[in-house]
Chain A
Amino acid sequence: MNSDKYQEGLLISAIQNGTVIDHITGGEALIVLRILGITGSTNECVSVATNVVSSALGRKDVVKIENRELKDEEVDRIALIAPKATINIIRERRVVEKKGVDIPDTLIGVLRCPNPCCITNTNEPVSSRFSVQGKRLICDYCDTVIGSDISSHII
């Protein structure tokens, strides 16, 4: 048993069914919850550990959500702000799927375009679409670039 597992075990117990998001950059668990739409008024049973000692990251956050398996577009959102995270889908206490959070080449419906004149910010029947070029995200419709503070543009 490595020290990561030991620390986690002390802080939050294993779950029966659901999702464990591990290796979130220390202190960013609350942003992950926000982009998953989890607030005090939603029903999920959620455990959060922040600033757990991690051999790989120094400090990391861990989020466990019971009875909810993340969808691919939710994984895309997490990838944007926590590129080192790993996502484990748990069924009957076993990890049945391990998703890395690779940022895809195109992000559809994940970010709101910061350009108020962009056609995606109107009532047209389209989702926002951003191309990922390294650390820059470029709106496919209006060419607006999001280079920093990505989390504030996540829908």
Chain B
Amino acid sequence: MSAPVVVTGMGVVAPTGLGAAEHWAATRAGTTRIRQVQRFDPEGYPSRLAGEVSSFVAEEHIPSRLIPQTDHMTRMALTAADWALDDAGVSPEEWPEFDIGVVTASSSGGFEFGQGELRNLWRRGGAFVSAYQSFAWFYAVNTGQISIRHGLRGPSGVLVADQAGGLDAIAQARRLVRRGCRISIAGGVDGSICPWGWVAQLAGGRMSTVADPAQAYRPFAADASGHVPGEGGALLVVEDAESARRRQVPVYGEIAGYAATFDSPAHSGHEPGLRRAIEQALENAGEAPHAVDVVFADAAAVPDLDRAEANAIRKVFGARGVPVTAPKTMTGRLLSGAGSLDVATALLAIRDQVVPPTVNTVPRPEHQLDLILGASREMPVSTALVLARGYGGFNSAMVVRRAGWAGPPEESERSER
């Protein structure tokens, strides 16, 4: 049995708020942030809605040095990393440089930055392309920039698995911590709400073209019509439980189990891989299905994918056998930011014993889901299952639960972030 790996800090930059406290307050209240795209003019595109991080002003959060060389999503990631480290009480300059690593997930990279440089290339010539294009668009850039900013030389990496990547990154961080790295900053902060990113996502055929923000993203509904994209995510400080106890810092919870599977080709007739991912994640956590208090759904809002997810949940937990929620109905789907934001939200649900709602949808009765609708549900929560699927057949499942040692008793109140 491996030693527990826990979460001791979180940094959230999401449509629902800057910082975990703002995000959690808005999420508990069921506040939707889906609206007309502001970052570019969406007229002329079939989809015009998004969950944007509208209150983020980069200059207020990161040094001027980093502005010319970073895409919007990297600026948000750097900010989330700062907040996660603060929250965990970790000042990297006081730590041995090889003790802390970074693992982030990305779906595509810094598309808005890349689009600007492609425009320069076409309109003005190669001499006008920024030298920073060499890395600013690159999918590995968030890990690199966070590592450089804080001087982190521990084992690091990047995972690319579309929406599933946020969970995969946290799982990789857990592996690295088990192999001896004391702390890993892990998760995803993502987004490409710019014309280039928009047409790339439209080509996938899963974006909703419904104009009304209250009707556009309806997972599990009879009239599910695809999703609304969003931006942002969360980074977590993932730490060896013994290290957290030695430091006497509060613990949000344990990364207890994880598994990833890959779907067979659609024409193969094989069952999609999500059920196996759930079962293997539970086995990895050493938990039976009845121990799970709530499931955070992937919530694709594409009828076939909704059916596959509902079937997987029903096969493991029984009909209406477990409460299910999808707070991403408030933010849109955040690409690789989705999984880590759901893990952060699940840990806050465990802390406060309340599960945030799913908004703007009503599930088809055939799905037999106990979907938490409209308002938060106060209930005992010790263990949560988070699901995430990526385009192309990625399935990831992660089990988080209340930690055996949750921190020194006098520090039961978390900081405001």
- Tell me whether A and B are bound partners: no
